[in-house]
Chains A and B, each alone.
Chain A
Amino acid sequence: MMISGAEIVIRCLQEEKVDCVFGYPGGSVLHIYDALFKQDQVKHILVRHEQAAVHAADAYSRSSQRVGVALVTSGPGVTNTVTGIATAYMDSIPMVVLTGQVPSFYIGQDAFQECDTVGITRPCVKHNFLVKDVKDLAVTIKKAFHIASTGRPGPVVVDIPKDITAQMCEFDYPKTIQMRSYNPVVKGHLGQIKKAVQILQEAKRPVIYTGGGVILSDAAEQLTKLAHKLNFPVTNTLMGLGGYPATDKQFIGMLGMHGTFEANNAMHFADVILAIGARFDDRVIGNPEHFGEEKRRVIHIDIDPSSISKRVKVDVPIVGNVPDVLEEIIKLMDGGFKTDPEVANWWKQIDEWRGRDSLRYKQSEHIMPQFVMEKLYEVTGGNAFITSDVGQHQMFAAQYYKFDKPRRWINSGGLGTMGVGLPYGMGVLMANPDAQVACVTGEGSIQMCIQELSTCKQYGFPIKIINLNNGMLGMVRQWQEMFYSKRYSQSYVTSLPDFVKLAEAYGHVGMKIEKPEDVEPALRKAFTEHKDDLVFMDFIIDPGANVFPMVAAGKGLTEMILAEDL
């Protein structure tokens, strides 16, 4: 039977078991929206800005094992998505973005709402396509899902001219896809894995350093098993939180710019680093020369060969799918493995570092943001999905909310995009309808996608917005305080809206919390009495609170500034 290109698009989504798309209509996607209207298998979430559609699709992926989908119109619809696509790209999030394009016979003529979508998005996608023939439509969408979700995942854009969506064609969805140019390696090299096990056995001061790759490849279970067998300390990057249970005694906290004293020291002084799905980025290892001063051996497991030896020379590279490689290591260890007895002394050293209690903070008469995070953890029993924006509040959430499970910590690590928090909450709820979701944000970030309060009303997303309101672009202010002699250039936010009234104007519940003793009762009320409401909780916090420990830009990992130093 012949069906239209628009119907083919929808049929492809159905074949991929896509249950919802986040989008915004416009001229070039009208045929697709019409096809969407005629069915009810694929639900559509109408956002208020295309950036939010992409962020929501991104969080749908992050919080589940499925691929998020966004659908937007040509021209401004596309340009509005670029921040969202780049955000997903930097964190290797599988996602498919379907974009409308002007009719193919108008392309290149500066037609109304034309833009070079493939050109604009090329540097921030894993791959992109322009469909030029309706006969290629289904197979292109199949390829898009395949590419997005295999190997090192990433966003894929499919640009579809309007005339293609009107043309008629037989629908035939390929079951599998073969591409001669794209065959990601999955199985790790056994010889390398054997070498790794040997080195692990010789390690006297080991550390397991894991990143977002563990989350993306669903390797948390294997990682925990391996770490317990080895009895090595484990540290996570910002993207890796939840990949290893934070309440486990082998967990030494997050590392990097705002990592714990014990994690950063352990990473620096380790004689063997087992790096898994992580990429030694500048926010993690600090100054690479300083990091290079210690002699150590590095084993690096990653699906992407280009992540290996990019910033730090690796001794044993293992390219492969993380859970499979970890299984392989565990299997080899079962054949007889002895952790070096010296490791016990290493643990003593680590416990001494732990004794510094580098996350300790002083209470004040104001609400401390760290305190709000601790209470949020208690009230939600550690079971919530926490989405976050970017700034000090993000670091407080990462440091004080203990993530025991993967895919619960949803934030923009690589690009550091302010504004993601609220749309991330929407995406999480579409993938996990019964979840408790809190969006930890700041008065700066939340205003970057505030319009989505309207979307949340329409679909009844009961997100709890935890606005850590310091009246400042706090993270900017912190740098200016520490490195620019307190010249607070443009980091002070005046004329803030009354967030309680604003929430109410959108039909939600608003709360303003100003005293430390009110923090816990307010949170309890929000999560019980207002379980099914979106609650905007405006916490007026100590405006001077800073994030510690801190490794200043250009400094070495062990040259941390601690709260106690000040």
Chain B
Amino acid sequence: MLRHIISILIENESGALSRVAGLFSARGYNIESLTVAPTEDPSLSRMTILTSGSDEVLEQITKQLNKLVDVVKVVDLSEAAHVERELMLIKVRATGKDREEMKRMADIFRGRIIDVTESTYVIELTGASSKL
């Protein structure tokens, strides 16, 4: 059961997401995480799906995705050299003496405080998922 990151270029039509999500649930494939956004060409969307399965299952996932009429391109990013980063935004309660401690922690892990209220911080962190 290997972890794979599948990147899908798909026509940016309403319902595109449900076609992909529906395919995964109908055929019993895993979705661990999923992101979608329009590309620099706004008529296309990029979907990035984190999934897992045996080689046979992965072969079927790619073939079935390619079969969707709206799908332009499917790439299994895990097959080649690639960079993985995750971004995290956390809102934390920061009052009293914790407030100072919070700030130090964020600095140590090279996190950035990007929003401040009297009682909270919003901290931004990026890195490999193990670090986060």
Contacts and interface: CB of A to CB of B under 8 A. Distances in A.
Interface stretch (B67-75, B100-108, B110-118, B121-129): B67-75
Interface in A305-323: 305-306, 309-310
A123 B15 CA distance: 12
Interface residues of B, number: 19
A126 B69 contact: yes
Interface residues on A, range: 10 to 19
A123 B24 CA distance: 11
A181 B10 contact: yes
Nearest to B63: A306
B19 interface: yes
A152 B64 CA distance: 13
Given A180-B72, A181-B72, A310-B60, A122 B19 contact: yes
A118 B70 CA distance: 14
Given A123-B26, A306-B60, A181 B70 contact: yes
B22 interface: yes
Nearest to B9: A181
A335 interface: no
Contacts of A305: 63, 66-67
A127 B63 contact: no
A275 interface: no
Nearest to B59: A309
B8 to A, nearest CB: 11
Contacts of A310: 60
A182 interface: yes
A455 B61 CA distance: 44
Nearest to A183: B72
Interface in A89-123: 118-119, 122-123
B18 interface: yes
Interface in B1-23: 10-11, 14-15, 18-19, 22
B59 A127 contact: no
B22 to A, nearest CB: 6
A310 B60 CA distance: 7
A127 B66 CA distance: 13
Nearest to B65: A306
B26 A119 contact: no
A180 B14 CA distance: 17
Contacts of B72: 180-181
A304 interface: yes
Centre residue among B14, B15, B60 by max chain A CB count within 10 A: B15
A6 interface: no
B67 A306 contact: yes
A182 B73 CA distance: 10
Contacts of A182: 69
Contacts, number: 37
B84 interface: no
Interface in B28-71: 56, 59-60, 63-64, 66-67, 69-71
Contacts of A126: 69
A181 B22 contact: no
A104 B68 CA distance: 26
Nearest to B14: A130
A60 to B, nearest CB: 23
Contact of B22 (A122, A179, A306): A122
A216 interface: no
Given A181-B71, A306-B64, A123 B22 contact: yes
Contacts of A130: 14-15
A305 B65 CA distance: 11
A466 interface: no
Contacts of B67: 152, 304-306
Nearest to A151: B67
Contact of B56 (A127, A152, A309): A309
A338 B67 CA distance: 38
Contacts of B26: 123
Nearest to B15: A118
Nearest to A129: B13
A119 B63 contact: no
A147 interface: yes
B18 A122 contact: yes
Interface string B62-95: 0110110111100000000000000000000000
A179 B68 CA distance: 12
A214 B69 CA distance: 23
Contact of A119 (B10, B11, B18, B70): B18
Nearest to A307: B63
Nearest to B70: A181
Contacts of B59: 309
Contacts of B56: 309
A429 B66 CA distance: 37
A515 to B, nearest CB: 50
Contact of B69 (A123, A181, A304): A181
Which 4 pairs from chain A and chain B are nearest by CB? Answer: A306-B63, A127-B69, A181-B72, A182-B69
20 contacts: A118-B15, A119-B15, A119-B18, A122-B15, A122-B19, A122-B22, A126-B69, A127-B69, A127-B70, A147-B69, A152-B67, A181-B11, A181-B72, A182-B69, A304-B67, A305-B63, A305-B66, A306-B60, A306-B64, A310-B60
Given A123-B26, A127-B70, 20 more contacts: A119-B15, A119-B18, A122-B15, A122-B18, A122-B19, A122-B22, A126-B69, A130-B15, A147-B69, A152-B67, A180-B72, A181-B69, A181-B70, A181-B72, A304-B67, A305-B66, A305-B67, A306-B64, A306-B67, A309-B56
